[in-house]
Structure 1
Amino acid sequence: MNLQSWPAFRARASHWFAILTAYADRHWKWLTFLIWIAILVGMLVDRWPAIHWLTLSDTDDNIRFVQVKDWLAGQGWYDLRQYRLDPPGGANIHWSRLVDIPLAGLMLFFRAFVEQDLADRLACAIAPLLPLFLLMLSLRSIARRLAGDAVGARWAWLFAVLAPLAAQMGLGMFAPMRIDHHGWQLALALTMMAGLIDRNWLRGGVVAGVSSALSVAIGMEMIVYLAAGGALVALRWVFRDGAGRRMLPYGLSLAGATSLCYVLFASYDNRHMVCDAISPIWVAVFGAAGAGMVLLSRLPLRLWWQRLIAGMIVGGAVGLFFLLNWPQCLTPYQISPELQQLWLANIREAKPITAQAQSLVVPLMALPAVGLLGLLWALWELRRDSDRLWAFATIGLMMLFSTALLFWQLRAGPAAQLLAIPPAAWAGWRLVTAIFTGSRRVRILAGIGTLLVGAIACAYPLYPQVIALWQQATGTKPKPWRPSAIARTDAIKKANGRCRTLPALEVLDQLPPATIFTMVDLGPRIIATTHHSAVAGPYHRNGATILDMHHAYDGPADAFRPIAAKHHATYLLVCPNFPEGTIYQSRSPRGFYADLMRGTIPAWLQPVTLKTAMTLPYTLYRIDYSAPR
């Protein structure tokens, strides 16, 4: 190509780019769907070994799997008790059926074509990816709104739709076999944000209100985000004349959809005054909040300070109504101090980010850091565009809020990453646009910025390599672990993996159905992979049973059998070096579990031999209640 042909080539390229841009803008839904399909196929191929072996790595995933199968086998719609945990009364599970519906539908669909075990595996693989599509649609709407009408704005959505691939902790909530409800809640949180900044105030209010109500129907984990979203709706009404056109449909849809979800999805146990799930408490609170917003939106208040005073009065009244009637709901779990100390304090996700390893913190915070820089850039660039400035401020405040929650609990990490995507994607889009439209100096700076953003997007795989190169270049090396510490860590990782595997646990089905006393964190996996029952799972409503198990392992051997008999346990399953067991050993070195690990086996524990060619990672004992102490 010579210099004379360059202008003609550039003109043709611009012509076809304009056609492609118009096509992408018209058919963005289908393009987003195709991108989602590509991600789905890639994740299914990557996770196929886990799918084949039914690797439900989280306790909640295992309980969800059993819950859906029990429902399909005839358990009632409103009966969510898990009768194979602590039978015969069962464990009180605080979820709803809403997230069960897509998983059950996929199970029934695939069972029409393949045998049941494979059908259930395929359903568990695909179900978590459904909310990912909703997340991508919401991110597209947010990105398009933030980009405005600038040059190349119609391509900004592509950066946001692809950005979840850089949010590894957030993306993990949508991975195959991750059938718990967190993916749906995260997607609905972004849907709420899309509604909060929608230019169509009626549609935005309804979308934000309904998505908030659906999130409440699923669980209360996102309640602080939903409350923050409602506060942003009210703030917009205070400072923008006419914003009541969003607040009115938001209040109506929030109150109405919450009430409807209560009727449709609240279990028998959730019909009581409970704080941790959709219940009469939250129907009343959201009903009062929605009614207050409707009232405020109809008041003829012309000045912002009048609206502020009125909003503070109504908000204070709703808050006082909540505090006077249900002050216990200010604490998230309502568990005893003893259970908090013995059990909840040892859960890693319940600890702040300051208590986590640097290798986890740095990649986790990479995307929020880019989001913060993008937010500051956008606020400066759009300082004279009040409409888009408010949209960015809305997204930015929620991003900062979610990041701040990391200093309370690590489990805020997925939300912090996903809520950082809109400003981070905007920054990436602006940098790429500057490469093609800016001056030479701007292009160079934009190219450097694009490379940095790309490197940060790959923080998870790159961070270990960067640390290794830094140590090699500087000659610094971390203090080596003692061989005993390395061996102990390896043993714990090995036990945590092997004791949960399907081949190891399905051997237990050689025995008639019985109740097995084992680790709290292993109970859900046992009932998901065998026909046996377990004593407990890590669910706070069943705190008395969890405490019994801790007392049984921490106390003397003589105290174990009465506790096991209380819960009708026939067998004791011990997995040496299982992570939970190391807590009992460390906390109570003279307790029953520590004695077992030292090889001190009471005479009333009789080893059970199972027929298998593999070396089992656990030992099973029959509890002989008739034997003398």
Structure 2
Amino acid sequence: MATDSGKPAAGPTYLAAWRRPDLNDQVSYRGFSLMILLFSLAIIAFQLALWFLKAKDYVGMDPDDAMRLVEVRDYLGGQGWFDLTQYRLGPDGGTLMHWSRLIDWPIATLVSLYALFLSPHQAEVMAVATWPLLLVVPLLASIGLASYRLGGKGGMVIGLLLSVVFLAAIVRFRPGAIDHHNVQLVLAAFMTAMLIDPFARASNFAAAAAAGGLALAIGAETTPLVAVSAIVVAVLWAIDSERYRKAAIGFGLAFAAATGAIFFGTTPFGHYGSVTCDTLSLGYLSLATVGGAALAASAFVLTDKPIHIRFTALVLAGILVLATAILVAPECLQNPLNNLDPLLKTMWLSTITEAQSIVAEMQHSPEDIGGFYAVGLLALAVCFMRIMRREQTIAHAILLALIGISWIVGLLQVRGTMFANFLAFIPLSALIADLRALYASRQKDSRAALAFVMSALLSVPAVWTMGGMAAFKAGDAIAGVPANQADAVDPDAEACVTEKRVADFAEMPAGRILAGFNTGPALLRFTPHSVLAANYHRNQAGMIATLKIAMAKPQDALPMMEAQGVGYVLFCNDDPLVDLMKSKYPDGFLAKLGKGDVPGYIEEIPQRAAGLHIYQMIQR
């Protein structure tokens, strides 16, 4: 609670919150902790139950989960902290990955701890199951605190309920989901909770900045969100300099210091001068240092100056940051994927669902649009309405900026909607809490009841997804449009590449495999072989070589495979790359192979697993 003076309520046992009409609307630290623990245990129990009942593998279904496990194994096997090369991926020399050891390390640590009393395999199983479940606690703590600060005790409970329903519907926090996207969501929620601190404490803003630096190091996907967070802090200081002076100084210094510490702690000495746009490199370090220092210096020196001088200082700081970007990392002023080879844009990127824009998604899966975008848009409308009504204006303005940038990124790449949807729960929880209180005071008013129920339902992304499915599938049925069999995926079907199915192949002499991009991580996980390509933009050379071989006529493909040192060819009946080649290059090597037309320079290795085909190059 807050007193009329704007200071935190007396007593260290209560959380700070925005002033609410109900003076009893307080939650103690103990009560808050207990609430977070109960909700965390509920979702963890649910995820574990799903895992035991339905999971066919202890690693997540996303190929990135398998790739992360490969990296963790390499790290535990002695590959250096600063050595991020995946030596079994791509042409000779391997592929320098853009992933961070900051995710490898905690998973590897869990494996080592479990290995003290379990077998190596059991330790690995337990570690990859434990890691995503552990992340549930800080995620719910962040969303619970943010919802409490905005909507009081009722808002906190509703925010946690919305989060639990959301987590039950996605795979990012299920056992085995060890890719980095779940950590990014935790950091985004934490940053938001810290920034809407009603008392603008420097410690909270510094914590938000440190989380932003960590998010940049883990993955460049959060760059827009981190950048907007910094702009928000700068604008808050310019508008209300006395209140946000210490917050701006703390944020600026912490952002520069945290980013620098992580950079020097994770970047090899030989790469200090390199600029890469998909990792924390000299480019991001320069921007964080210049921007953070400029913000801190402005707040330290100009707080007592008129508002026009403060804004002028911010404009100059922005020009300085932009000049630094143009000088040090001009290539990072665009989407890193813009530099992809045109062949990869056409034949690979356009097939990645999470990289699609809203336009492409509307053409391919219009029934999913509501689930991706509606809740975020509703939250933006709520924030705008609150600002117009001058209800907790600063908090809703912050949320408007953070949800807005995530939603805009989602328009360009659908993966951004995960952040927009989750952060949307903060303003929506406060709205639902207020409508619930209104309904409680007017129990005979059907309009109040309808408003409460509808606000709660429309705040759940899954409701929009189910509504879209019902509307479009029903419309197709009425119009007589046949169902798309290609979209019908059997959830109980066994994966094509599993440890058991490639066990014999794993015993063969190590060699480089030409295979579909989706199967690359699984082959690295289950066999000692290397793969020419997998779904990673740093692996451009391997992917381009694979596509050119697949497209070439069989007689032309042979010298290309020999040049790449290919020893094996592997494909699955349902491999998207094979289907793509059959439709676009029916006379190409991979399409012919998919039809059973085997050239004389390879021979098939008999397989007991249906749908899996493995060929060995014949020595000449």
Aligned partner letter, 1:294: A
Q: Which residue in the other structure is 2:307 paired with?
A: 304
User: Does residue 1:433 correspond to 2:427, yes or no?
Assistant: no
Aligned partner letter, 1:330: L
Deviation, 1:545, is 1.6
CA RMSD of aligned residues (A): 2.8
Aligned partner letter, 2:346: Q
Q: Which residue in the other structure is 2:210 paired with?
A: 210
Deviation, 1:56, is 2.9
> Any idea what the Cα deviations from partners look like across 1:11-59, whole Å, max 9, x if unmatched?
xxxxxxx999767664202320232122112101112256552343222
Q: Which residue in the other structure is 1:175 paired with?
A: 174
Q: Which residue in the other structure is 2:349 paired with?
A: 344
Stretch deviating more after TM superposition (421-430 or 126-135): 126-135
Q: Which residue in the other structure is 1:261 paired with?
A: 262
Taking the TM superposition and a 5 Å limit, the aligned residue runs for 1:238-257 are 238-242=238-242, 243-257=244-258
User: Does residue 1:287 correspond to 2:289, yes or no?
Assistant: yes
Aligned partner letter, 2:240: R
Q: In 2 relative to 1, CA 475–192 (structure 1 residues): closer, same or farther, beyond 3 Å?
A: closer
Deviation, 1:225, is 0.7
Q: In 2 relative to 1, CA 489–370 (structure 1 residues): closer, same or farther, beyond 3 Å?
A: closer
Deviation, 1:336, is 2.7
Aligned partner letter, 2:457: A
Q: Which residue in the other structure is 1:361 paired with?
A: 369
Deviation, 1:532, is 2.4
> Any idea what the Cα deviations from partners look like across 1:73-103, whole Å, max 9, x if unmatched?
1111111111221365222111111011221
Aligned partner letter, 1:265: T
> Any idea what the Cα deviations from partners look like across 1:424-482, whole Å, max 9, x if unmatched?
1111211222232x2345x533321232234335552685478659987x997143327
User: Does residue 1:391 correspond to 2:395, yes or no?
Assistant: yes
Aligned partner letter, 1:103: I
Aligned partner letter, 1:250: F
For residues 178 and 31 of structure 2, what CA distance do their matches in structure 1 show? 30
Aligned partner letter, 1:177: G
For residues 310 and 582 of structure 2, what CA distance do their matches in structure 1 show? 59
Aligned partner letter, 2:332: C
Kindly indicate whether the alpha-carbon contact (under 8 Å) linking 2:210 and 2:258 is maintained by their aligned counterparts in 1: yes
Q: In 2 relative to 1, CA 583–471 (structure 1 residues): closer, same or farther, beyond 3 Å?
A: closer
User: Does residue 1:506 correspond to 2:524, yes or no?
Assistant: no
For residues 292 and 464 of structure 2, what CA distance do their matches in structure 1 show? 47
Aligned partner letter, 1:129: L
For residues 384 and 449 of structure 2, what CA distance do their matches in structure 1 show? 19
- Which of 460, 463, 467 matches 2:462? 460
User: Does residue 1:593 correspond to 2:590, yes or no?
Assistant: yes
Taking the TM superposition and a 5 Å limit, the aligned residue runs for 1:567-582 are 567-582=564-579
Q: In 2 relative to 1, CA 350–104 (structure 1 residues): closer, same or farther, beyond 3 Å?
A: same
Q: In 2 relative to 1, CA 506–401 (structure 1 residues): closer, same or farther, beyond 3 Å?
A: same
For residues 399 and 351 of structure 1, what CA distance do their matches in structure 2 show? 19
Deviation, 1:263, is 1.5
Q: In 2 relative to 1, CA 440–61 (structure 1 residues): closer, same or farther, beyond 3 Å?
A: closer
Q: Which residue in the other structure is 1:325 paired with?
A: 328
Stretch deviating more after TM superposition (46-55 or 424-433): 46-55
User: Does residue 1:72 correspond to 2:73, yes or no?
Assistant: no
For residues 154 and 580 of structure 1, what CA distance do their matches in structure 2 show? 51
Give the SS at the match of 2:221.
coil
Deviation, 1:508, is 2.4
Kindly indicate whether the alpha-carbon contact (under 8 Å) linking 1:520 and 1:536 is maintained by their aligned counterparts in 2: yes
Kindly indicate whether the alpha-carbon contact (under 8 Å) linking 2:205 and 2:250 is maintained by their aligned counterparts in 1: yes
Q: Which residue in the other structure is 1:620 paired with?
A: 614
Q: In 2 relative to 1, CA 402–513 (structure 1 residues): closer, same or farther, beyond 3 Å?
A: same
Aligned partner letter, 1:256: A
Deviation, 1:560, is 2.1
Q: Which residue in the other structure is 1:7 paired with?
A: none
Q: In 2 relative to 1, CA 352–468 (structure 1 residues): closer, same or farther, beyond 3 Å?
A: closer
Deviation, 1:369, is 4.2
Q: In 2 relative to 1, CA 390–454 (structure 1 residues): closer, same or farther, beyond 3 Å?
A: closer
Q: Which residue in the other structure is 1:62 paired with?
A: 66
Q: In 2 relative to 1, CA 496–577 (structure 1 residues): closer, same or farther, beyond 3 Å?
A: farther
Q: In 2 relative to 1, CA 329–37 (structure 1 residues): closer, same or farther, beyond 3 Å?
A: same
Q: Which residue in the other structure is 2:149 paired with?
A: 145
Kindly indicate whether the alpha-carbon contact (under 8 Å) linking 1:515 and 1:568 is maintained by their aligned counterparts in 2: yes
Give the SS at the match of 1:57.
coil
Kindly indicate whether the alpha-carbon contact (under 8 Å) linking 2:514 and 2:531 is maintained by their aligned counterparts in 1: yes
> Any idea what the Cα deviations from partners look like across 1:380-408, whole Å, max 9, x if unmatched?
55x1x5xx211111112211221122221
Give the SS at the match of 2:220.
coil
Aligned partner letter, 2:367: S
Q: How many residues align?
A: 590
For residues 616 and 115 of structure 1, what CA distance do their matches in structure 2 show? 32
For residues 603 and 157 of structure 2, what CA distance do their matches in structure 1 show? 62
Give the SS at the match of 1:174.
coil
- Which of 539, 546, 551 matches 1:549? 546
Deviation, 1:543, is 0.9
Aligned partner letter, 2:283: I
For residues 275 and 493 of structure 1, what CA distance do their matches in structure 2 show? 38
Deviation, 1:195, is 1.9
Task: Give the TM-score taking structure 2 as reference length.
Answer: 0.88
For residues 526 and 372 of structure 1, what CA distance do their matches in structure 2 show? 44
Stretch deviating more after TM superposition (113-122 or 311-320): 113-122
Q: Which residue in the other structure is 1:154 paired with?
A: 153
Aligned partner letter, 1:346: T
Q: Which residue in the other structure is 2:10 paired with?
A: none
For residues 313 and 285 of structure 1, what CA distance do their matches in structure 2 show? 14
Q: In 2 relative to 1, CA 87–162 (structure 1 residues): closer, same or farther, beyond 3 Å?
A: same
Kindly indicate whether the alpha-carbon contact (under 8 Å) linking 1:125 and 1:177 is maintained by their aligned counterparts in 2: yes
- Which of 274, 277, 281 matches 1:275? 277
Aligned partner letter, 2:195: L
Deviation, 1:320, is 1.4
Kindly indicate whether the alpha-carbon contact (under 8 Å) linking 2:90 and 2:541 is maintained by their aligned counterparts in 1: no
Deviation, 1:160, is 1.4
Deviation, 1:275, is 1.8
Give aligned-pair identity as a percent: 24
Deviation, 1:580, is 2.4
Structure 1: tracts of 5 or more residues without a match: 1-17, 148-152
Deviation, 1:134, is 1.6
Q: Which residue in the other structure is 1:481 paired with?
A: 482
Q: Which residue in the other structure is 1:6 paired with?
A: none
> Any idea what the Cα deviations from partners look like across 1:263-298, whole Å, max 9, x if unmatched?
112257854222210112221111111111111112
Aligned partner letter, 1:561: L
For residues 494 and 440 of structure 1, what CA distance do their matches in structure 2 show? 45
Q: Which residue in the other structure is 1:415 paired with?
A: 419
For residues 283 and 133 of structure 1, what CA distance do their matches in structure 2 show? 30
Kindly indicate whether the alpha-carbon contact (under 8 Å) linking 1:61 and 1:177 is maintained by their aligned counterparts in 2: yes
Deviation, 1:587, is 2.2
Q: Which residue in the other structure is 1:561 paired with?
A: 558
Q: In 2 relative to 1, CA 397–497 (structure 1 residues): closer, same or farther, beyond 3 Å?
A: farther
Kindly indicate whether the alpha-carbon contact (under 8 Å) linking 2:228 and 2:401 is maintained by their aligned counterparts in 1: no
For residues 24 and 502 of structure 2, what CA distance do their matches in structure 1 show? 54
> Any idea what the Cα deviations from partners look like across 1:502-543, whole Å, max 9, x if unmatched?
432334224233322111221111111223221222221221
Kindly indicate whether the alpha-carbon contact (under 8 Å) linking 2:58 and 2:175 is maintained by their aligned counterparts in 1: no
Q: In 2 relative to 1, CA 123–234 (structure 1 residues): closer, same or farther, beyond 3 Å?
A: same
Q: Which residue in the other structure is 1:13 paired with?
A: none
Q: Which residue in the other structure is 1:15 paired with?
A: none
Q: In 2 relative to 1, CA 597–277 (structure 1 residues): closer, same or farther, beyond 3 Å?
A: same
For residues 169 and 330 of structure 2, what CA distance do their matches in structure 1 show? 32
For residues 50 and 116 of structure 1, what CA distance do their matches in structure 2 show? 24
Deviation, 1:497, is 5.5
For residues 466 and 68 of structure 1, what CA distance do their matches in structure 2 show? 39
Q: In 2 relative to 1, CA 47–169 (structure 1 residues): closer, same or farther, beyond 3 Å?
A: closer
For residues 593 and 268 of structure 2, what CA distance do their matches in structure 1 show? 40
Aligned partner letter, 1:159: I
For residues 456 and 497 of structure 2, what CA distance do their matches in structure 1 show? 37
